[in-house]
Amino acid sequence: MSGGLRARLVVALGNPDRGDDGVGPAVVRALGPQPGVEVWEAVRGGLPLAEALVGYERALVVDACPALPVGEVALVPLFDGRSVPAGERWLHGLGLAQGLALLAAAGRPVPATWALAIGVPTDLPFRRGLSPKVARAVPHAVAEVKRWLAN
Amino acid sequence: MKKIAIDPITRLEGHGKILLYLDEGGGLKGAVLQVPELRGFEAFCRGRRGEEMPQITERICGVCPEAHHLASAKALDAAYGAEVPPAAWIQRELFYNCYIFADHLLHLVFLGGPDLLLPAEAPKGSRNVLGVLQAYPELGREVVAVRARAQRVLEIIGGRAIHPVFALPGGVARAVTPEEAEEIRGHTAAMVALAEKFVPFFHEEVLPDPGYQGLLASPGAHLPTHYLGLVDETGAPHFCRGKVRAVSSAGKELFLLEGAAAMERIAERVEPWTYVKFPYLKDLGWSGFAAGPESGIYRVGPLARLNVAERMATPLAQEEYERFLDFFGEKPVHATFAYHWARLVEMVQAAEAADALAKNKQLTGTEIRGKLGRPGEGVGVVEAARGTLFHRYALDERGLVQDLDLIVATTHNAAGIGLSVKQMAEDVVRKGALDEALLNRIEMAFRAYDPCLACATHFLPGEMPLVVEVYDPEGSLVRRIAR
């Protein structure tokens, strides 16, 4: 609903009440305020998150990822603002990348979006605080966010 | 080289699992839905301050945090004996109707859309939301734009773009300004305009389709269960206030009770093979996984809400409700694929109700928080888009949570989903097809309920994180099918 594009957004995804799932919020809290950058914390993905990203020029989603080795950090492009993510699994699904593609196809100004993934265990129990291995990855992840912001 | 797929917030903690049991002849003996449970949630919440619960519980679900947020606030209203002022209720109801509208629209057009709006023979590669957008570009763009308007109302009232923080025990956090109210009225008017356009579209493009007609009339998708949902004092469905009404499979009222009393009439069946508890109507008892008048199994969600209602709350929705009942010629309507149509009727009501609330002068009222009494026990009930959601908290004298219990929509429906899956899968299994065709049939039944497994997993709506396991009569796994 707003006018011009806002520049940059960093979204930390994850639930701090579920142990290492909260690594995204832990990273942005360690990052602290950055000039000209909006920072959010959220648990929601898919189309609702994609809709919330409308109006930004670039976005970075910081998220826990069980597909990576625990403590590993990877910065990957998620949606370039144009091309359509393929994959049979989205026959009736709307992941974040698919949601962004839908909105782009409908003429909405969606941001080029990256994901900063941090490896976590698959079992995420209800408790607060990160495991030592994941906590040790936070400084590296913060450095990657800064690198993304600098570029 | 190993390829790793990274898809934010689709972290896999467990799949929604359908278990199919074969008989000696290779036919289908039974089918059950296994939903991962929230292990350790109750223990985690014990000792927390009651006021934290609307934020803690909304974070367990990435699909409908709005529903958990308000159910939690309502449970705290009751636990503190608080009287919520009218202006606060108007904010809550307006917010909630916008959530129902946006959620139902998403399902009708984009998640269920490939089933409802695209021909069955459409190439597999185009059977997705972009295929819907290409087939109906003008409607698709308008749906995207109007959903954004509904989301904007959620942001204004909820306080944040994607996770609400506004509802507190006894009311809401802040008053709506006159400027915000003016903006909201523009958004709700657009919601009504889209609803008005969508109804004839449904009757011209969706309902006449032989495929959908066949599903609506199919004896294999006719499931005569009981139904449960919230109604207001006039007997119309209400999404966040009123009493819980249960009707039998023959349409007879079983009870009409406040949330706490209604929760007392629900028991939960424990089975040794799953953590999931299967709710059933206590007075009727548990008689196994079967529908019908003797069974205690009931269903919730859009179809159930229309079946427990006597009327709709708004004029356009009432007109569509009458067309819906005329089409089936019976009430309750037991056709599982009528869930989609019921979603449309409710979407219309949500748009009209939101617009009326936005025009209410009390929306900008500043008396927004009632006085809290001494902490005790309370139950909060709302209708999530997928069905009835109960939160029950017991607080000690310091306001700390001593005990809690949540019954979420997909848990209510777990037995019904299993029965529908069995109906839909029977033919395919009999023909010996334990493959993609089986998965497709099961998904259609599954999708009609729009089930949400996100309270226990981080799966997105519609992502079909579904695994089907087929067991022989000896209990040995013979096939595992997954996308």
Q: Where are the domains of chain B?
A: 16-36+416-482, 83-220+335-370, 223-334
Q: What is the pLDDT of residues B277-311, one digit of tens each?
A: 889 999 999 998 899 999 999 999 999 999 999 99
In this predicted structure, which of B103-117, B203-217, B243-257, B288-302 has the lowest mean pLDDT? B103-117
Q: Which residues of chain A neighbour B165 with C-beta distances below 8 Å?
A: none
Q: A98 vs chain B: nearest CA distance in angstroms? A: 9
Mean of pLDDT values over B393-399: 97
Asked if the model's pLDDT at residue B430 lies above 80, the reply is no
Q: What is the pLDDT of residue B115?
A: 77
A100 phi and psi angles, rounded to 5 deg: -65, -40
* Residue A1 belongs to some domain of the structure: no
Query: Across the interface, which of A17, A91, A108 has its CB nearest the CB of B144?
Result: A108
**B119 pLDDT higher than 80:** no
SS3 state at A113: strand
The model's pTM is 0.91
| pLDDT of B219 over the 80 cut | yes
Give yes or no for a contact between A27 and A65, defined as CB atoms under 8 angstroms apart. Answer: no
Residue B481 in contact with partner chain A when CB distance is under 8 A = no
Tokens of B63: 């699909």
What is the count of residue pairs from A and B with beta carbons less than 8 Å apart? 159
Average pLDDT over residues A100-128: 89
Query: What ipTM goes with this model?
Result: 0.86
Distance CA B229, CA B243 (A): 8
**How far is Cα of residue B250 from the mean position of the Cα atoms in its chain?**
23
Provide the domain limits for residue A78: 6-150
Contact B458, B62 (CB under 8 A): yes
Tell which CATH architecture fits domain B83-220+335-370: Orthogonal Bundle (1.10)
Q: Is B145 on the interface with A (CB under 8 A)?
A: yes
As beta bridge partners, residue B467 has B17, B482
Residue B344 DSSP SS3:
helix
What phi and psi values does residue B478 have, to the nearest 5 degrees? -110, -20
Give the CATH number, domain containing residue A18: 3.40.50.1450
* Angstroms from A33 CA to nearest CA on chain B: 18
Q: How far apart are CA B19 and CA A58, in angstroms?
A: 43
Q: In whole angstroms, give the CA distance from residue B437 to residue B433.
A: 7
Of the candidates A60, A69, A30, A66, the residue with the CA atom closest to the CA atom of residue A42: A60
Tokens 């019976």 belong to B330
Q: Using CB atoms within 10 Å of the CB of residue B427, give its burial: 0 to 12 exposed, 13 to 18 middle, 19+ buried.
A: middle
Q: List B383's β-bridge partners, or say none.
A: B388
Give the DSSP H/E element, type plus range, for residue B41: helix B41-45
Six token digits for residue B260: 């706490």
Residues 6 or more apart in contact with residue B219 via CB below 8 angstroms: none
pLDDT over 70 (residue B3): no
Distance from CA of B329 to the nearest CA of A (A): 31
Give domain status of residue A27, yes or no: yes
CB contact under 8 A, B483 and A88: yes
- Assign residue B159 a region: left if phi > 0, alpha if psi is -120 to 50, beta otherwise? left
**Confidence bin at B482 (pLDDT 50/70/90):** low
Residue with tokens 């609330």: B357
Cα A84 off chain centre by:
18
Examine residue A98 and state whether it is found in any structural domain, yes or no: yes
Rounded to 5°, angle at Cα B53 from A119 and B43 = 65
A contacts of B162 (beta carbons < 8 Å)? 40, 42, 44, 48-49, 52
Residue A58 falls inside a structural domain: yes
Q: Give me the number of domains chain A comprises.
A: 1
